[in-house]
Structure 1
Amino acid sequence: MHPVEIEPRRLLVIEPCEECRGLFPRLRAAGWLVESRSLVDAGLHPCQVGMLCFHSGLLPRLDEIKAVIASNVAEWVALVSAKDMSKAKLCDFISEWFFDFHTMPVDLERLLVTLGRACGMAHLREQNDKCLADESHELLGESASIRSLRKLMEKLGSTDSPVLIRGESGTGKELVARSLHRTSARVERPSVAINCGAIPENLIQSELFGHEKGAFTGAHQRKIGRIESADGGTLFLDEIGDLPMEMQANLLRFLQEMTIERVGGSKSISVNVRVIAATHINLEEAVAKGTFREDLYYRLNVLQVHVPPLRERIQDVPQLASHFASLFSVEAGRRPRRFSQAALLAMASHHWPGNVRELANRVRRGLVIAEGKQIEAEDIGLERVIKRPPLLGTLEDYKLRAERQAVGDALMQHSQNLSQAARALGISRPTLYRLLHKHQLSGAG
């Protein structure tokens, strides 16, 4: 039987002391590709795991250390003397920014276990970041409703017909509009959004259609309107139900003729745009009440997209929350935090009247307030619950999550060595490859 080859893993050691340098040969023998650097040039060398040897000269330079750690997806381990661990400020800093720490003198066997776990965690975090950064995964979640929405978006992106996006406030209607533009043939042209309910009624004509110099008091120069600015691209009319009746007639005329006239002008200007509209109100009821034109409704409602409220896809909340934790961690100046079981339970039981926007705001608050390594229910302004949460999807959803968790745990435990990971899972290596592809994970050979 041939021995299993260990893929070299990159370990960057910052400010190594003599004891630390003495560990290098054994670390290399264990499969680590070891590089050592000073703190000044550490940011130029990407790695899977970083190890920082604290000494007294580094204590005033914690901001520099924070910048290095925040600049890559590596997990970091601190080596520190027992004496320095008595300093509260350093302890707080290590707790906030490091995966683990070891006091010197170092127990090499224990350190190797820690480095292996850190490498697996860094790998999973890197894959997650890539997935979240991929624009095709903006509409996150694996619930049946969000999968159906993504499938519908693939069909609608290539068409030029108007689309009406419906859904409650905060569900992500503008995100859907951006996705439709990005998957269309107009992607290289402008995408212009206007919130019809946020512009004063006396200005909306000029905002949409533009104006000529001298058209009215204060019109000191020509202004190109939003519709004309979107020529060749996509025009997104958010909260279309709030558009005043007079402007509804002007918009209808534009949709019929695809020409505009700037305020104060007499020249017809041809504009080629795809129109996407969104609303949180019931337009059929608005038509019946006479507050929305029926002919405009039929012009806009050629293709329809419904964005489900968050309460109808509760099983997507953990993935969305992790996405926002990564997104807002830079803004908060902290590393991304995980959510405690109590926080996850509280989120699963919450009704989410503000939908995804409310979730994003609660996560942003939690990142700032949290004091421990995890975000607690209280940090996001939710009460702990004792009752069991509602089912997070179908049995198939649970099986998929369990399967992904098992594969991720095997990768972490065996530091990305697929042969060992497959044996631990009791499956063949080809089967593991199939599962990695299925769950958008990857591993080293």
Structure 2
Amino acid sequence: MKISLFYEFALPRPWVPDDERQLFQEGLKEVEAADKAGFSTVWLTEHHFLEEYCHSTAPEIFLAAASQRTENIRLGFGVMHLPPAINHPARVAERVATLDLISNGRVEFGTGESSSVGELGGFNIDPADKRTQWEEALEVSIRCMTEDPFTGFKGEHIQMPARNVIPKPHQKSHPPVWVACTRPSSVQMSARLGAGALSFAYTGPGPLADRVRGYYDEFENACEPWLPELNPNILAIGGDLSMMVAKTDEEAVKRLGLGGGFFSFGIMHYYMTGQHTPGRTGVWDTYLDAVKEDDTLAYGPGRGAIGSPATVREFLRGYEESGVDEIILLLNPRSHEGTMESIELMGKEVLPEFIERDEAARAAKAKRLEPILEKVEARRKNLVTPAFDEDYAFGGLPTGRGGSFTASEIPEAMAEINEGRVQAAQRLKDEAEAAQQQ
């Protein structure tokens, strides 16, 4: 089982002017330490307008910075929202490929639909359309990464003509694809697609074992892939998977503070029961009030990799026994200094045994999947894509409104450039003539 980190970049109020800069700078230091410690992947979510709960609105920017401070840790979108009003699929392909190139092929391409009123409403997306938008956008973004040129697409939500989308990713044909899965049915869907399942698991390692078996049964028996590259993997993430490791259990709980339950509370607030006034509602204050009523919201036994190295090792072994391929440990609001020590202790006293066992487990899994992959590939569905019209070309000035509008800024700029070139040439000529006369 791989062990990874997950960032939402929560930032509780009250805020002071330097808070967000400090939040990201501390995060970069933590990821650099996690790379040295041996964590498998750092996963960043993407959310918009969910103040206090998540300030990770441009994960590709943070991951790009992290890529230049690390060597081995993989860089995961957990997830990138694919509805085209949020991220156009051509831009998705460009950003994922660029990050893959500058990181030397370390990107994990996690995808999702978006689920909150704040985000869907903020981008004027009808919730009834979000699944079909995700389906179209995933196809287009993957084709943009792999086709030379992309031959075009006409769907219900996305229409795009032929273009050669550049650059292309370092990982061929494309980085591993993952799907956000909040329900067992979406885990099954990801298996049928042949993508990895980013599975939210709130029920502990016992029930997770059934979910893992269900994923691989569905992959073997029902996967009809169209993705060029398969990614048969399932990982676990959840509100009860926080991380804080210290020399003693008591010190770990103290360093985590009250932040351990903020992820789950934020989900309830923004996705289900809360009413939010932008720039006014105090989410952290509301959370603290709830904790006063029920202190188990903040921390409870067995809720994450929280405690001494011995306690954390035992906790993680339970998930390892479930058969899950990877577990993501969430960094809720907590002490940065405590987190740095936590990462160091994980690297020295917890991760080595899991890394060693994971190497053997991956080799055994690859052997076990060989005949299954043959069965799956035999069911492969070829996408029906437009043939490229070799006579097609684009060019000239942009026009619109039935030809009544023509964008003129470039001709005007070019005329100014040409005038400058003519004047410069004339000055040189004049100077040369003046020199001859002397």
Q: TM-score, normalised by structure 1?
A: 0.29
Compare CA radii of gyration and give the structure with the larger one: 1
